[in-house]
Amino acid sequence: MNIIDGKAISAAIRGEIAAEVAQMHQKPGLAVVIVGDDPASKVYVRNKHKACEDTGIYSEVHELSADTTQQELLALIDKLNADEKISGILVQLPLPKGLSEDEVIARIDPKKDVDAFSAINVGHIMLGDPIFLPCTPAGVMELLKRSGIEVKGKNCVVVGRSNIVGKPMAMLLLKADGTVTICHSKTRNLAEITAKADILIVAIGRAKFITADMVADGAIVIDVGMNRDENNKLCGDVDFDSVSEKASYITPVPGGVGPMTITMLLKNTIKAYKLQHGE
């Protein structure tokens, strides 16, 4: 069994990114907008800012209070859309109740939508011609690629159908010529389907939900989940201890998919800069 080391792969890609940014005349810029004081969101935003600093990407964080109005937030997006220093805009979700995430995402210039959440960018992903790759699924594809795993012709099962992970994940696997099945909470006989996967990707948000009996011998198992177990320890959606005995490759949590998401965001910020500068 091989453990896919997302931390090491992510560090290698960030090294490549830093080298590329160092060669650029002007620096790409990322604006991160956070509304309210959700502690988990604050940690994510801090990590994104630090990743930019470490790779030479300009970054600014806009911290708005929880009582910010929709109009104020939209006005900030308009300002960032027009700001030449800013190549990419990311609004940290979830937004406090009362604010419309859909309207805010739709307001971001599609050329600056580095999370690839807007209808235009989702449409491009669906057409098999993505402008920006969705960050977490792109991170998974990169982990597979850099581990020498080919997707073409493989039976790929994605558990979870969210707009952020499951659905775009399935599209990227399909684009890579995988045969893709998407499962969700209404799927019947889930274990029978997961047990047929050559590549099993799990993104459901249920601690240690996938157990060894649900996985084929030699399967490649990618765990996107981030949960707390009964001892408040970070863990994935896969029961790592038992499943790792059957899998040929497996990602740990932490240290698997997690570090890749921000790395792919950095790549998208560079892509956005190039798009806006006709490169």
| Distance separating alpha carbons of residues 70 and 35, to the nearest angstrom | 11
23 burial (CB, 10 Å; 0-12 / 13-18 / 19+) is exposed
Judge whether 26 counts as a catalytic residue: no
Q: Which residue in the list 27, 48, 208, 267 is annotated as catalytic?
A: 48
Torsion of CA 19, 23, 25, 31, to 10 degrees: -10
> Are 133 and 114 within 8 A, CB to CB?
no
Looking at residue 54, the DSSP 8-state letter turns out to be H
Residue 85 or 184 having the CB closest to ligand NDP: 184
Is 115 designated active site? yes
Task: Closer to ligand NDP by CB, 146 or 206: give it.
Answer: 206
Closer by beta carbon to ligand NDP, 42 or else 276: 42
Comparing CB distances to ligand NDP, the nearer of 21 and 164 is: 164
Choosing from 115, 223, 237, 239, which is the catalytic residue? 115
**C-alpha–C-alpha distance, residues 60 and 52, integer Å:** 9
CA–CA distance, 133 with 252 (Å, rounded to integer): 23
Residue nearest to ligand NDP (CB): 162
Cα separation, 37 vs 57, whole angstroms:
25
The C-alpha R_g of the chain, in whole angstroms, comes to 19
| Closest to ligand NDP by CB, 86 or 139 | 139
The nearest distance, CB 233 to ligand NDP, in angstroms, is 14
Partnered with residue 227 across adjacent β-strands are 235
Q: How does DSSP classify residue 127?
A: T
Shortest Å distance, C-beta 252 to ligand NDP? 12
- In the complex, the smallest distance separating the C-beta of residue 132 from ligand NDP, rounded to whole angstroms, is 16
In the complex, minimum distance from the CB of residue 261 to ligand NDP, in angstroms, rounded to a whole number? 3
Host H or E run for residue 259: helix 258-276
Retrieve residue 50's tokens: 């630090």
Q: C-beta of 51: minimal distance to ligand NDP in Å?
A: 13
71 catalytic per annotation: no
Binding site for ligand NDP (CB under 6 A): 136, 159-162, 164-166, 183-187, 190, 203-206, 224-227, 257-258, 261
Q: Which of 92, 109, 237, 267 is catalytic?
A: 92
Catalytic sites, residue numbers: 48, 92, 115
